Chain A
Amino acid sequence: MFSYCTDPSTLEGLSWLSCYLTTGKHLNLYISVFVVLTLLAITAPVALMFGFGAASAARSKFLPLRWFGKGYTSIVRGVPDIAFFLFFVIALDQAFEWMRHKVKCPDWDQPIRQGIDFVVCDAAKLPLSTSPQWVHETYGFFLAVLTFSIVFGAFAANVLFGAMRAVPRGQIETAEAYGMTSRQAFWRILVPQMWVYALPGLSNLWMVLIKSTPLLFLLGVEDIVYWARELGGTKTARFTDYPHPNWHVWYFAALLVFYLCFTKVSEVVLDRIMTRLTKGQATAAGEAQRKAAA
């Protein structure tokens, strides 16, 4: 990175550290921070969408749809999330390949599950074995995002379902009295009002989501945990210009501090949002704000 880094054996103290922390692999570590942030930025809205869909399904008058909504939320929440992370990545991958196989190779006569092997034709492989490295990585990342969204969608569904029920019944009745259909009442009355009730649960969920990002490592994405393990391990002088003993402690301590700062910042921001949303609301917190201002 810097010009004085060309011969690491001459370096001392801080200048050594500045060179060490800007090696190519460390740059990968810094990039992987953005991978984690991207995952959060994509997963949060997608999971919210899934949750909204499932919560509406659970309120539906159509029985199978209601079963689906309730079943989805209670099964996902009753099982350790890590089991789902490990399960969905393989299951989704196989589901996609199976669908492509049915479409692309209709005249394939062998069974797909041969004993313990899962065999699809070459054209159905995802990603194709000829595609470049970045396609493989993006596909892995895409699977991770989908898995996270499915799991956190269930939690979000639970929060939103509670929030929809918390909106005072009188509001819906008034809407019906004005002659709105149940669809109109849902979109114009219920949905705009439910957010203030949903926010405490959703902010809790956001904290949980932040804290589950290290599990990306288990899904095969090269995230911060992967690079921290990689860089912290013992390095001998044969393979690197910066030999060092086992430094896992320092790298994981840095990750710990990173996550602590991240949750602290989110906490402050979410508190601000909550204060703004409760302003003028007919809730206990809104009442307290009015009293404090007066």
Chain B
Amino acid sequence: MSCVETIQAYAFRSLGFGERLLPKGEYTLCEHFTLIGSGMIWNVYFGIVALLTGFFLAVALAVGKSSPNPMWRKPAEWFIFIFRGSPLFIQFFFAYACFLSLKSVSKGIDPSAPLTPGEAMLVQISSFFDPFTSAWLGALIVLFCNTAAYSGEIFYGALLSIPKGDIEAADAYGMTGWTRFRRITFPTMMRLAWPAYTNEAIFLFHATTLVFFSGFPAWRQKGDALYYASYFADKTFNPFVPYPILAFYFILLTLVIISIFGFVNRRLNKHLPQERRSKPKLKLNLIR
């Protein structure tokens, strides 16, 4: 097969389109690049969707954690502690086991026979949790909670370091409640948190590689980039080709993230005098 044919056959293999059988025998470099790149679709999907949805929960958690009312503060604190204090790997395993046992509550009930109301409810629960055991939803929920907790903590830190003068000035203008939050607190919080949030985004994309190595199964060998990379490494006993290719894709992805977040960072700091703007320099000191 020429390289163009390989790309045609395997470019969307991770989504289930194209050739069904994975390549066999001696693997060409082109096959490596195409399949691992095809797997990257999943990493990008998990990363983007979790980041976009997790952002809103993160803001809510940060506001909740800084609230004086324990009814809001306590749940936010516990949520952040649980998801930041335990390994993501175990969270994946636990979530998968949870969803699986919720799905199999109706095991042993014959759906064609007449059902009692209790049994009917069990069947309903079971069919509701059916999609949760597959990676596209179940793993996404774990990643969503995880990134919400980490970014919630980052936003909370930023919320605490908002200059006192900004809030006082807002008070002086008579701004309160929602208006003050929307026009003063939130933009400043974003501006302060953005460098750390960039980091969090990078680490979230790295964390997406764990999905198919925890409980979540890759149906019909539709996996992410690391899944295909380890597939090649297992078959060829040669880690020196697939893993560097994976690394290449991830470094590329990291550069894209940095440039997008850098663009947003410039917008957030637009109003500041030149020397006070926080540089889009990457600060990787703070890690998850």
- Contact of B196 with A by CB under 8 A: no
Contacting A at CB under 8 A, from B237-279, are 237-240, 243, 246-247, 250-251, 254
Q: Is the CB of A215 within 8 A of B89?
A: yes
Bound-state CA distance A204–B82 (Å) is 16
Q: Which interface class (under 10, 10 to 19, 20 to 34, 35 or more) fits A? A: 35 or more
Bound-state CA distance A83–B43 (Å) is 13
Contact of B287 among A82, A205, A232, A248 (CB under 8 A): A205
- Contact of B184 with A by CB under 8 A: no
Q: Is the CB of B97 within 8 A of A260?
A: no
- Contact of B284 with A by CB under 8 A: yes
Contacting B at CB under 8 A, from A62-101, are 75, 77-84, 86-87, 90-91, 94
Number of interface residues of B (CB under 8 A): 45
Q: Is the CB of A80 within 8 A of B206?
A: yes
Q: A204-B286, A211-B87 are in contact. Are A253 and B94 (CB under 8 A)?
A: yes
Secondary structure dominating the interface of A: helix
A252 partner residues in chain B, CB cutoff 8 A: 90, 93-94, 97
A143 to chain B, nearest CB (A): 13
Bound-state CA distance A162–B287 (Å) is 14
A210 partner residues in chain B, CB cutoff 8 A: 87
Q: Is the CB of A75 within 8 A of B97?
A: no
- Contact of B91 with A by CB under 8 A: yes
- Contact of A159 with B by CB under 8 A: yes
A82 partner residues in chain B, CB cutoff 8 A: 206, 209-210, 213, 226
Contact of A83 among B82, B247, B286, B287 (CB under 8 A): B247
Bound-state CA distance A163–B261 (Å) is 26
B40 to chain A, nearest CB (A): 12
Bound-state CA distance A140–B233 (Å) is 18
- Contact of A116 with B by CB under 8 A: yes
- Contact of A155 with B by CB under 8 A: yes
- Contact of B98 with A by CB under 8 A: yes
Contacting B at CB under 8 A, from A234-292, are 246, 248-249, 251-253, 255-256, 259-260, 263-264
- Contact of B88 with A by CB under 8 A: yes
- Interface-centre pick from A86, A113, A116, A253 (highest chain B CB count, 10 A): A86
B225 to chain A, nearest CB (A): 9
Q: Is the CB of A259 within 8 A of B90?
A: yes
Q: Is the CB of A218 within 8 A of B213?
A: yes
Contact of A117 among B89, B100, B237 (CB under 8 A): B237
Q: Is the CB of B93 within 8 A of A225?
A: yes
| A-B CB contact pairs (8 Å), 29 listed | A79-B250, A80-B209, A82-B210, A83-B226, A83-B247, A86-B229, A86-B233, A90-B233, A90-B239, A113-B238, A115-B26, A116-B235, A118-B237, A158-B285, A159-B285, A162-B285, A204-B286, A204-B287, A205-B287, A208-B288, A212-B89, A214-B90, A217-B89, A228-B93, A246-B97, A248-B97, A248-B100, A249-B101, A255-B93
Q: Which residues of B contact A (CB under 8 A)?
A: 26-27, 81-82, 85-91, 93-94, 97-98, 100-101, 104, 206-207, 209-210, 213, 215, 226, 229-230, 233, 235-240, 243, 246-247, 250-251, 254, 284-288
Q: Which residues of A contact B (CB under 8 A)?
A: 75, 77-84, 86-87, 90-91, 94, 113, 115-118, 155, 158-159, 162, 201, 204-205, 208, 210-215, 217-218, 225, 228-229, 232, 246, 248-249, 251-253, 255-256, 259-260, 263-264
